[in-house]
Chains A and B, each alone.
Chain A
Amino acid sequence: MDRLLPLIQNEALKIWKKKRFLVILIVLLILIPIFTYAQMKIAETNKSHFKDWRNQLVQQINEYQNMLSSDRIPDEWKRSRRIAVQQLQYYLDHDVNPNSPDGVTFTRSFMSNAVTLFFPLLVLAIASDLVSGERTAGTIKMLLTRPVRRWKILFSKLVALTMYVSLTVVASAVLCYLISGAVFGYDGWAMPVFTGFVIQGSSIESSFVHAVPQWLYLLMEAGLIWVSSMSVALLALMVSVLVRSTAASIVTMMAAVISGTILSSMSSSWQSAKFIFSVNLQLTDYLAGSPPPITGMTLGFSLLVLAFWAAASLTVSFSVFTKQDIMN
């Protein structure tokens, strides 16, 4: 380990000096205010229409119910609405505001909305050229002719990548809280959030529902986002090992991630799509009790699928990287 630490330091410093993390922070600093502003506009509209959040919630439930009574709406869509109604009703019945306008709640919803596309994107900014970048620049020759085993080089890159994935998730949450808090206020840590909704068909089994303080919910959410981001990171690392050009590596991964998002929304009719890694990225849905993209998917299932993809990418990455000839 004492020999690995300097290698990890190398990789971490290179990512930093390439200003990759700075780019991520800048992207966050631009996007979060935009979303905060949009949320502020929504809150303003609601405020002018409704006396308090309960009126808004009851109206929302009512609108869903009216949609459910229409014949023109697809069953799949109805199913998820029916579940949403039951959840909102649960919040209403227990007099807890699911969308309270505060910094913590905004952060929570921003994070869960970002998990399928935005976080993978940020992760790709770091992971995509981790190996292919060294090849393009030719520095891989310097790296691999030092008296260090190749697996150690890749391992140190992997650890550095993990570090930045963690930093990205935490930095997003912190920036989100700081920026949105300036508009919505900095409290909401102790507010109760319900979790443990068990979905059965189109109804919710609420016997396991329990309230957790929002700070804990946010922590759990961030943990799940980290796992899903890590699986993207490991896959991106593999692509970066296999594909010589960084551009090709980014495009490949973006295609994989985006197609997963599209498949998730098309859903259900193609059952085996649930084995595709990018369909399983929305781990936070299980926490919130939203219906999964394909019926029958559970947290355990998604974690297994992601773990399988991660393990496979690691195996491929290491076996290719340690054996391949560096020809250019």
Chain B
Amino acid sequence: MRTLSSGSLWKLIGLSAVISTLLLLAGFGYAVKDMLHPKGEAFEGTAAVPALPASGKLSEAKEISITAIGDSLTKGTGDATGEGYVKQTIALLAKKYPDADVRLNNNLAVNGLKAERLVRLLETDKGYRYALMQSNVILFTIGGNDLFQIAAGSSANKKADELDLNKLKAELPQGLNQLAKVTKLLHDINPNAHVVYVGLYNPFYDIPDFRAGSLQIQAWNEQAYALLHQYGNMSMVPTFDLFEQTIGRYLSSDHFHPNHIGYAQIASRIAQSLE
């Protein structure tokens, strides 16, 4: 500092300050112009398409990448540990295939999601499609909100006494229609992945008035199975039997979603079904 005379120091400060100021003024001017008179401009992004994982047995795969989509069941609502069936399935698969790298790619479940919205997401959301394309295992749940929300008036969490069995019945074809679209879209997006659909159960089995609802649930499950059956890579795990005699043991306090052990049972069934 001592070697720099105040004259040359001033020149240095002055010059860099003037250049900085001009630069910043230009930036400000451009920003104002750009924002006060914006012109839309289509941006041609180069859409990334990941390579589909090879089809084939999981036991031979080096990496097992899992994407889960669907409603609150997939989200894991009701599980105090937050794991849900998805993370527990991953843990089980990691034990089952110790040589493979088992990892969760994405869990894109949304609370309260209905089949119709899932269809829309699969059709339009590039992120969903991208994540699904990367995986060799896809887990999903859907339909619970379609049936029970309609039946219960609005929210699935509402008390069961508002449940209307006739509505439930009337809603079936509509929901299954959407499920058909979901399965088709999933197959279009990633024909190589193992797709597992978790079947529905009747959370109100222990309420005498609504035990009959189980029959409608079974009707859904049966037709859902028929839809999945068309595709060789898709399978379905049943859950209805877990929530009948042992419903008190496996259901969480909201009387709708499974608790941690409930999800554990579902996870073990999924893990068993995959090969």
Contact partner, B9, options A13, A170, A194, A223, Cβ 8 Å: A13
State whether A16 touches B13 (Cβ < 8 A): yes
**In the bound complex, what is the Cα–Cα distance between A164 and B45 (angstroms)?**
40
With A224-B28, A287-B35 already in contact, the answer to whether A95 and B23 are too (CB < 8 A) is no
User: How far, in Å, is B49 (CB) from chain A's closest CB?
Assistant: 10
Interface: A62 (CB within 8 A): yes
Of the listed residues B17, B29, B105, B111, the one surrounded by the most CB atoms of chain A closer than 10 A to its CB is B17
Does A65 lie within 8 Å of B110, measured CB to CB? Answer: yes
B130 within 8 A of A: yes
Answer yes or no: A72 CB below 8 A from chain B CBs: no
**Which residues of B lie under 8 Å from residue A216 when comparing CB positions?**
30
User: Looking at the complex, which of B36-44, B86-94, B234-242 is the stretch in contact with chain A?
Assistant: B36-44
**Which residues 221-245 of A sit at the B interface, judged by CB distance below 8 A?**
221-224, 226-227
Q: Is the CB of B20 within 8 A of A167?
A: yes
**Residue contact A219 to B26, C-beta cutoff 8 Å:** yes
Measured CA separation A197–B99 after assembly (Å): 47
Residue contact A51 to B108, C-beta cutoff 8 Å = no
| Contacting pair B35 A299 (CB below 8 A) | yes
Q: Is B161 an interface residue (CB 8 A)?
A: no
Q: Per-position contact with B for A93-104: 1 when CB-CB < 8 Å, else 0?
A: 111100000000
Q: Check A55 against B131 for contact (C-beta < 8 Å).
A: yes
Partner of A166, one of B10, B24, B107: B24
B38–A210 touching, CB < 8 Å: yes
**Contact across chains for B40 and A162 when beta carbons are under 8 A apart:** no
Q: CB of B128 within 8 A of chain A?
A: yes
Q: Known contacts A55-B134, A57-B127, A66-B75; is A287 also within 8 Å of B38 by CB?
A: no
Report if A148 contacts B (CB, 8 A). no
In the bound complex, do residue B24 and residue A210 qualify as a contact, i.e. CB atoms below 8 Å apart?
no
Given contacts A210-B41, A224-B31, contact A95 B47 (CB under 8 A): yes
Instruction: Decide if B126 is an interface residue (CB 8 Å cutoff).
Output: yes
A220, B14: Cβ atoms closer than 8 Å? no
Closest chain A residue to B104 by CB distance?
A49
**Minimum C-beta distance from B191 to chain A (A):** 20
Q: Hey, what's the 0/1 contact readout for B108-142 against A, CB within 8 Å counting as 1?
A: 11111000000000000111101100100000000
Q: Are B36 and A208 in contact (CB under 8 A)?
A: no
> Are A208 and B39 in contact (CB-based, < 8 A)?
yes
Residue contact A94 to B20, C-beta cutoff 8 Å: no
Which A181-238 residues have a C-beta within 8 angstroms of B? 192, 194-196, 198, 206-212, 216, 219-224, 226-227
A92 CA to B131 CA in the complex, in Å?
A: 12
Does chain B have a CB within 8 A of A59?
A: yes
User: Beyond A58-B127, A196-B40, is A287–B110 a contact (Cβ under 8 Å)?
Assistant: no
> Cβ of A219 and Cβ of B30 under 8 Å apart?
yes
B105 touches A51 (CB 8 A): yes
Residues of A within 8 A of B28 (CB): 220, 223-224, 226-227
In whole angstroms, what is the CA distance A256 to B198 when docked? Answer: 57
With CB as the reference atom, state the residue of chain A lying closest to B47.
A95
**B75-A286 in contact (CB<8A):** no
For the complex, what is the distance from the CA of A67 to the CA of B5, rounded to whole Å?
Answer: 61
Q: Does A322 contact B (CB under 8 A)?
A: no
Choose from B13, B26, B48, B126 the contact partner of A223 (Cβ within 8 Å).
B26
CA gap between A92 and B111 in the complex, in Å = 22
Within the complex, which residue of A50, A162, A221 is in contact with B27, where a contact is CB–CB below 8 Å?
A221
> With an 8 A cutoff between CB atoms, is B65 at the interface?
yes
Decide if B105 touches A163 in the complex (CB within 8 Å): no
Closest chain B residue to A62, Cβ basis: B108
Determine the chain A residues whose CB is within 8 A of the CB of B13 once the complex forms.
12-13, 16, 163, 167
Asked whether any CB of chain A lies closer than 8 Å to the CB of B253, the reply is: no
- Look across to chain B and name the residue whose beta carbon is closest to the beta carbon of A284: B31
Report how far A59 CA is from B39 CA in the complex, Å: 31
Instruction: Report how far A76 CA is from B267 CA in the complex, Å.
Output: 38
With A66-B75, A162-B21, A209-B40 already in contact, the answer to whether A222 and B27 are too (CB < 8 A) is: yes
- On whether A61 and B34 interact (CB within 8 A), knowing A223-B28, A226-B24, the answer reads no
- Across the two chains, which residue of chain B brings its CB closest to A67? B111
B residues less than 8 Å from A220 (CB atoms): 27-28, 30-31, 34
Check A219 against B17 for contact (C-beta < 8 Å): no
- Residue A300 CB within 8 A of the other chain: yes
A58 to B135, CA, bound (A): 14
The verdict on A196 contacting B38 (CB below 8 Å), with A51-B134, A95-B45 known, is yes
Report if A69 contacts B (CB, 8 A). yes
Chain B contacts for A223, CB-based, 8 A: 24-31
Is B48 within 8 A of A54, CB to CB? yes
Chain B residues 40 to 61 lying within 8 A of chain A, measured CB to CB, are 40-41, 43, 45-48
Most buried by B among A12, A51, A207: A51
State A69–B14 Cα separation when bound (angstroms): 56
Distance of A220 from chain B, by nearest CB (Å): 4
B residues engaging A (CB < 8 A)?
6, 9-10, 13-14, 16-18, 20-21, 23-32, 34-36, 38-41, 43, 45-48, 65, 75, 105-112, 125-128, 130-131, 134
Q: Can you list 22 contacts pairing A with B, beta carbon distance less than 8 Å?
A: A55-B106, A55-B131, A62-B109, A65-B110, A69-B112, A95-B47, A163-B13, A163-B20, A166-B21, A170-B16, A170-B20, A194-B43, A198-B38, A207-B40, A209-B41, A210-B38, A210-B41, A211-B43, A216-B30, A224-B27, A226-B24, A286-B35
Q: A223-B27, A223-B30 are in contact. List 6 more A-B contacts (CB 8 A).
A: A8-B14, A13-B13, A69-B110, A166-B24, A196-B34, A223-B28
